[in-house]
Chain A
Amino acid sequence: MESSIKERDKKNYNYLWQIPKFIVPLVLIIIWVVVSKLELLKPIFLPTPLNMFEAFVGMQKILPNAILTTVVMTLTGFSIGVAFGTASGLIMAYSKIVRETMGTIFDFLRPVPVFALIPLFILWFGIGRAPQIALIALGTSVILGVTTLEAIRNVPTIYIRAALTLGANRQRIYSTVIVPYIIPHLIGAIRVAAAASWGLDVAAEFMGSQQGLGYLIILQQTYLRTAGIILLVVIYSVLALITDTIIASIESRITRWTERRTSIGVVASIVGSK
């Protein structure tokens, strides 16, 4: 039954509906070219397409290394943060002792804006990779920790009651009922955390990195090279887009068992299905 829905979707692939996707970017590019040609804005505010190309050529040699540094640092911090955040959410829900002892401190520290810790981290840890990764990890773990805890609280009690009457103990209920149930609910938080980790990385690199994309942005800024800055921002966006797409494709595989929304019919049009 599912393959015939896919076939029907292919047939309905309305070429007309593809046009709106390109209209906005196209219009923006046209405006950009026109403004540049007519020199309506100073290049320091809006570089011309030629400036952009020159900037790219100028950075070609150092770009690959910078991208590698940034990607490694961000993904490391992101992974640590997701693992730590999810684990702490689970532990807080599972153990009353942990909840009572650590709960208040976590509640107190959670709202602190992570960016505000940057000067403190510099004083404490100096300049280096570790504090930067720690910053990213901290920021993402807060997102995951809260979501995990809330997701656990929303597990329908009937599944827990059923498991109990089948002889499951607390530990088995967590591993066979609670964890499988919350995984689809965590995917949304993971996507948000991924996007946030790129932002955290920029901030972290402003803390004194000597190598990554964020460092290059600062460098470009000191030389007033707007074109370079915009180029680097675009690269960040592309990286964020790639990670988001990867996570989204994993999501569809993991949530196979949930009540799937169809892509046809009135319901689909209301909830914005593809």
Chain B
Amino acid sequence: MEESVPKTSHIERDIIIQIEHLDFWYLEGENIIEDFHISIHDQEFISIVGVSGCGKSTLLNIVAGLLPPSKGRVLLRGKEIKHPGSDRAMVFQDDAVFPWYTVRQNVEYGLKIKKFTPKERSNLTDHYLNLVGLKDSQNLFPRQLSGGMRKRVDVARAVATKPDVLLMDEPFAALDVLTKERLQTEFLNIWNNNRITVIFVTHDLEEAIYLSDRVVVMSFQPGRVKRVVEVPFSRPRDKDLKTTLAFQNIRRDLGHDLIKIEV
């Protein structure tokens, strides 16, 4: 595992998630994930990239507590993760917004589980609706919304519970390119003002580099940490960053890594 010259700002912060020598298999002997080991720091935005089927979604599900590790463990602030919970909220690739609730009721869902007074809950819900720009649509049902709007509801719902870690499993992959880029920029703005640890899984290299502090390249069969790359760009990041030479150099570099994996 190689690391390029480290940027110290996030490493100095606490380690929030420790993935310790993680193995995962459905059938013994066929490791999907093998000896995956990494430390993730507080308020760090880290992406995991890899080809389809390399196990990155499986990894995220294990961190979420939806799947048990076959070997090794995942620690959240030093405590082993065993069940899913709102401290690790997740945004999925597919539409997970509850169709039988309005936008407002969806965003409120996690808040209802926590012990807030109705007034506190209402204020928080308003806050997160405004954050994603859905205040005016709050009484609509998901079937009346576009894909991009539904994704915003998803994000608002997940961050409303103030999780320790936000897990995102290719959240924008199902959207068209224009909506996707808009949501990337919007999400980055939200994140800049509300710093939270994010583990972002994607197969889109540019997305990973644009959004993250670090990018982890995951190998294929078995899934291991192949390489960790520091993203040197300061924040806030310009949306035209993707077209700069420095950005494209990093992208090309990572692209070669992925091609090596596929071959």
Contacts and interface: CB of A to CB of B under 8 A. Distances in A.
A181 B109 CA distance: 15
A58 B71 CA distance: 83
Dominant SS at the B interface?
loop
A165 B89 contact: yes
Dominant SS at the A interface?
helix
Interface residues of B, number: 28
B114 A162 contact: no
A159 B98 contact: yes
18 contacts: A161-B96, A162-B90, A162-B92, A162-B96, A164-B65, A164-B84, A165-B84, A165-B85, A165-B86, A166-B110, A166-B157, A166-B158, A167-B86, A168-B113, A180-B98, A256-B141, A257-B141, A259-B143
Contacts of B167: 165
Contacts of B98: 159, 162, 176-177, 180
Given A158-B92, A159-B96, A257-B100, A165 B66 contact: yes
Interface string B64-89: 11100000000000000000111011
Interface residues of A, number: 20
A181 B100 contact: yes
A101 interface: no
Contacts, number: 65
B62 to A, nearest CB: 13
Interface string B107-135: 00110011000000000000000000000
A222 interface: no
A274 interface: no
Contact of B113 (A167, A177, A180, A256): A167
A258 B143 contact: yes
Nearest to A180: B100
